[in-house]
Amino acid sequence: MSIRVLLADDQPLVRAALNMVITDTADVHVVGEAGDGHEAVRLTGELAPDVVVMDIRMPGMDGIEATRRITTGTSAARVVVLTTFDEDDYVYGALRAGASGFLVKDMALDDILAAVRVVAAGDALIAPSVTRRLIKDFADRPGATPPGRRELDGITNREREVLTLVGRGLSNTEIAEELCLSVATAKTYLTRLLAKLDARDRVHLVILAYEAGLVAP
């Protein structure tokens, strides 16, 4: 089944570049393009994409608010944030708004396409290097939640270990190797954590791991 993608970016060149690489694939196709957040929300409702590739800085409604409206509405679409990390102070807010992935615009187009496939499959995508920078960015802000404030009631010691490794940006395979588990068992622990902590996805678990003080900048 083909993955339906909506591109939301106020730069036509960015949309054109993404559209070009997606057009050459058999399993992904673009169903629409939006130049601002309002249009992204409207087209998500009308076109029912599987994935919305969302810029943050857009005129009118920005990508954070658009992401929040999409993920809290009736749409089943998942949002991938695509932005310039070094210049953008709103990445953490976008992830808290419900984004399932975080990409930077200087990534290779093929890598962005691969990320769309990962998110469409129900997983979340956040690279270890980005995880570290994201946590540091959040921790350095005035009024950020200090580590240790978040309680993790109801999880076992092993689940806490898994959550710590998720917070460090490790993949399921790396978690399995670190804890001498099978990959299937690591996935089971991850599923339990998502349910027990009422987390949306892997990105949300990273945030919870930081807020609980399990990982630090």
Query: pLDDT tens digits for 25-45?
Result: 889 999 999 999 999 999 999
**Residue 15's pLDDT is what?**
93
Q: pLDDT of 150-208, one tens digit each? A: 567 789 999 999 999 988 878 788 889 999 999 889 889 988 998 888 887 777 788 78
Domain boundary among 125, 155, 180: 125
Do 48 and 152 belong together in one domain?
A: no
Are 95 and 135 contacting, i.e. CB atoms less than 8 angstroms apart?
A: no
pLDDT at 133 over 70: no
Residue 54 lies in a domain: yes
What is the spatial distance between Cα 14 and Cα 21, in angstroms, rounded to a whole number?
Answer: 11
**Residue 208's pLDDT is what?**
85
Return the CATH number at 152.
1.10.10.10
**Residue 147's pLDDT is what?**
45
Residue 140 lies in a domain: no
217 contacts: CB under 8 Å, gap ≥ 6: 132, 135, 136, 139, 140
Residue 163 lies in a domain: yes
DSSP 8-class letter at 59: S
Domain boundary among 125, 158, 191: 125
**What average pLDDT does the segment 51-72 reach?**
92
What is the spatial distance between Cα 41 and Cα 72, in angstroms, rounded to a whole number?
Answer: 11
**Residue 13's pLDDT is what?**
92
Length of the chain: 217
Do 106 and 188 belong together in one domain?
A: no
Do 102 and 192 belong together in one domain?
A: no
Full residue range of the structural domain in which residue 18 is found:
3-125
- pTM score > 0.85 for this model? no
**Residue 209's pLDDT is what?**
86
**Residue 127's pLDDT is what?**
56
What is the spatial distance between Cα 203 and Cα 210, in angstroms, rounded to a whole number?
Answer: 11
Residue 114 lies in a domain: yes
pLDDT at 3 over 90: yes
Do 116 and 9 belong together in one domain?
A: yes
Do 116 and 151 belong together in one domain?
A: no
Do 100 and 52 belong together in one domain?
A: yes
Model confidence band, residue 49 (pLDDT cutoffs 50, 70, 90): very high
**Residue 148's pLDDT is what?**
46
